[in-house]
Structure 1
């Protein structure tokens, strides 16, 4: 039988603990048999209506008839029974024309694969928004560097000093057709994150002769600042339905003011979408190199920008007495000033240096010499690191 005091305690327990238990069950969510799994929840959130087209093809359509598996196997069997081909292959004399292979690739699966690669790099999203196009016209772009040519493919890396000169661009086109070629950088605008810099703009190109086109913006080499990583530089070739008046754009040549090179591909296409259709695409990536210091100072006449990532300070637990299962010196270094630790390592190194004597030769096998066990374990570990050049010792 409960006493009056125990009855009061039991009543208070029911009033406080039982609601807490129910609240804890509510916070945990539904049982595994009823609750949806993570994959089911993600599928539900990412589900799209198949009747709604979220992306629009603003280019030309390309229909490639897929080769049936049966026909492909028959072709392989036929070639495998060819004794002459087998003989040339065994003797390493079988030659294939790279140009023929590239031409066949460009006429079959190449344009769609280029579209997939450009999608992976976010080219369409950042230039055209929800629109895309299939680059059915192959672009042959090459930069001349010293005595060699550096081609532009689909995202390959080209340094700024290699792309300092205007590239050579070739494409197949009828003599009576008109084209527009634009080179733009969607990652490098200093003042507007939603805008681009146009690095080259040639309009009303008759056939494939760029020298006879209207030069709207002269060529400006890539200039990615130090610390921003790789930037994308995209060549887009547009097919024109007729001659276009580009007088509204900047006509100052050479143009070295970056404010006058602000450009938005999406707005440009919307303005001329009735007479322009994107048909070709090539792009490369570039990052900072030492040649850009002179370019910023003497060509753009501006101070060279430098970017650094501000890393947040790492979280360090509050200090405790007698830390267990961790090296004593490393534990204390967490709470010491970094400059004080660096000074300690530097003085330790300078103590062994002599202005007139060569440094001591390190043994070929440092760990072959035992360390006296009279030293504590944390100090023996530090001595081992110093012998092998591990950790902070390498910095000095």
Structure 2
């Protein structure tokens, strides 16, 4: 049977099985063009052709602690029981009616931090490519909440929270770190045995000589039961050192749980002001000890250049401060003309001169009319009332601009 126009009646199923293009017409005049639905490719097939899956792409591997599997029904019963107790509490109702009900925000934050907060942190870290740059194709869900804060002044602290911005001057001193080092990361139950932890602070964005390496800013190992003060400091703390012009850099704290007390003496740095000795790679470190350590906690912040960095480079690191600047290309200029039209003569000539020489002349001109003690000359009371005679038109324009405090000469402070 040849392809053509058909009426949608009882024979519709027969023509849908045909492989030839159809123009199906209903009794109401509606048409369906192209191949029948059983033959034409679906939307899913078309999307797969447009976005083919690379067979070499490896799915991310979870290298952290697994989630404690609890029955969904038990969780729902606990939640409903809590809601019921709140709704049937007469004291709570009276307090709410009197507008005296207060909510303990610290308690709410702790509940969030120990439940969904760590999953949110994992998604935020994925957004900032934390796992990709540190562990390659691996990731982990932080099961142990890290509380890291820098002491600013007195009772004021700057927290490290989900990639917030902390200036180098605020992070100049060693931070205060606390975490639950006696509970099991999976069950949350207290352990009777001693547990050992390792805390590493690293910067994957700041290495000057090796783009695939990091600078380790802090390395404390064999921390017993979460007490940082009793741990072995292998690398002394160093403040953030983002160079000028480089933008924001990430500073990442990773907490590992050790199976037992380990020997990390190979990573000890005796000369803390030598950046080359601080060269570090998180992936290599984890591959070496992956059978003995498990990543359990994560925290990170961002930092950029400020004025205190210059002093740190010169006096502590004994280095010349690196400054990154963008080199703008020279502006395109057409060939010079004998008679440039519709443009002031002096401005046209300045385009073909060294800009530094032009700026120097304008600055000298302004300084010549400025007294060292009395300041610049008093402006004319009526600048447009004074005639300007016997000068070229371009110079007349410059004099008028100068009297009205307009033009380039007034840009120099």
> Normalized against structure 1, the TM-score is what?
0.71
For residues 359 and 393 of structure 1, do their structure 2 counterparts lie closer, same or farther at Cα, with a shift above 3 Å needed? closer
Q: Report if aligned partners of 1:250, 1:260 keep a CA contact under 8 Å in 2.
A: no
Q: Report if aligned partners of 1:177, 1:240 keep a CA contact under 8 Å in 2.
A: yes
- State the match for 1:261 in structure 2: 278
Q: Secondary structure of the equivalent of 2:266? A: coil
In the alignment, does 2:264 pair up with 1:233? Answer: no
Unaligned 5+ runs, structure 2: 1-45, 183-190
For residues 52 and 298 of structure 1, do their structure 2 counterparts lie closer, same or farther at Cα, with a shift above 3 Å needed? closer
Q: Secondary structure of the equivalent of 1:156? A: coil
In the alignment, does 2:265 pair up with 1:247? Answer: yes
Aligned pair partner of 2:164 in 134, 152, 156: 156
- State the match for 2:24 in structure 1: none
Partner deviation per Cα, 1:122-154 (whole Å, 9 max, x = no partner)? 222221122222222211111223323222112
- State the match for 1:129 in structure 2: 136
Measure, in 2, the Cα distance between the counterparts of 1:209 and 1:251: 22
- State the match for 2:361 in structure 1: 344
- State the match for 1:312 in structure 2: 328
Unaligned 5+ runs, structure 1: 1-40
Measure, in 1, the Cα distance between the counterparts of 2:166 and 2:197: 26
Q: Secondary structure of the equivalent of 2:267? A: coil
Q: Secondary structure of the equivalent of 2:376? A: coil
For residues 318 and 82 of structure 1, do their structure 2 counterparts lie closer, same or farther at Cα, with a shift above 3 Å needed? farther
In the alignment, does 2:188 pair up with 1:172? Answer: no
- State the match for 1:288 in structure 2: 305
Measure, in 2, the Cα distance between the counterparts of 1:388 and 1:46: 61
Measure, in 2, the Cα distance between the counterparts of 1:154 and 1:386: 55
Q: Report if aligned partners of 1:371, 1:380 keep a CA contact under 8 Å in 2.
A: no
How far the C-alpha of 1:344 sits from its partner, in A, is 2.8
Q: Secondary structure of the equivalent of 1:114? A: helix
> Normalized against structure 2, the TM-score is what?
0.68
Larger Rg: 2
Measure, in 2, the Cα distance between the counterparts of 1:161 and 1:211: 23
Measure, in 1, the Cα distance between the counterparts of 2:349 and 2:280: 54
- State the match for 2:5 in structure 1: none
| More helix as a share of residues | 1
How far the C-alpha of 1:217 sits from its partner, in A, is 1.6
Aligned residues: 340
Q: Report if aligned partners of 1:386, 1:393 keep a CA contact under 8 Å in 2.
A: no
**TM-align CA RMSD:** 4.1
How far the C-alpha of 1:293 sits from its partner, in A, is 3.8
- State the match for 2:27 in structure 1: none
Q: Secondary structure of the equivalent of 1:349? A: helix
Q: Secondary structure of the equivalent of 2:163? A: strand
In the alignment, does 2:228 pair up with 1:210? Answer: yes
- State the match for 1:55 in structure 2: 60
